[in-house]
Amino acid sequence: MRGRLLAIPLAAAALVAAGCGGEETTGLDGASRSNGRELFVPTCGSCHTLAEAGTAGTVGPNLDEALGYPCKQGFAEDTIYSVVLGQIDLAQGTMPADLVTGQDAVDVAAYVASVAGKDIEGCEPSGGGGGGTTTAAATTETSG
Ligand code: HEC
């Protein structure tokens, strides 16, 4: 099973990273995860389970599982971000492509990458390095 999940999406992600998108976006660093969450729930949640978003769709894979295991294997958040963005853009299989585009797609991908599978033991967001175990910043700001 190892590696199977990521094989195709990573190829897709490479295309996105190469700049096929056209539109200017902030990329992962400037993405609005709160906007991503707001878009994810109605746009993706009907088909995908994602614990943090509170969605329970079963048409597509459970994203906590699909993306949590790669996370546990040590893929960085920006890699998972690229996978999600690639899937949104090119949509393998039966998932509709371009449900969100441009900055919205970036925001959704950044949101998903930041929360997917975080309940899975061993999946630690954003690398961090050595030390602090008390920085699980799970608070959601009410912005905007
Ligand atoms: C109409 C249902 C549907 C909607 C809406 C949908 N998806 Fe999907 N998604 C799927 C299906 C089905 C798959 C599995 C694709 C396949 O391999 O056939 C999938 C696969 C994925 C994957 C790859 C998971 C893996 O195993 O690597 C990601 C990531 C993903 N979707 C994210 C999203 C995001 C983000 C959105 C919202 C912008 C979204 N999906 C909206 C049905 C949907």
Q: Domain containing 74 — which CATH number? A: 1.10.760.10
The residue-averaged pLDDT of 136-140 equals 45
Going by the DSSP 8-state scheme, the letter that residue 133 receives in this structure is: S
Asked, for residue 26, whether it belongs to a domain, the answer is no
Confidence class of residue 4 from pLDDT cuts 50, 70 and 90?
low
Ligand 1 cavity residues, CB under 6 Å? 5, 9, 43-44, 46-48, 59-61, 63, 66, 84, 87-88, 92-96, 99-100, 108, 112
Asked, for residue 124, whether it belongs to a domain, the answer is no
The domain of 56 spans 4-16+34-115
Q: Judge whether residue 54 has pLDDT over 50.
A: yes
The SS3 call for residue 136 is coil
Q: Judge whether residue 139 has pLDDT over 50.
A: no
Q: 103: which residues sit within 8 A by CB, 6+ positions away?
A: 23, 25, 26, 31
This model's pTM is above 0.75: yes
Asked, for residue 57, whether it belongs to a domain, the answer is yes
Q: Judge whether residue 18 has pLDDT over 90.
A: no
Residue having the nearest C-alpha atom to atom 12 of ligand 1? 60
Asked, for residue 109, whether it belongs to a domain, the answer is yes
Number of domain units in the chain: 1
The residue-averaged pLDDT of 119-141 equals 50
Residue 2 C-alpha to ligand 1 middle, in angstroms? 19
Q: What percent of the chain has pLDDT over 90?
A: 53
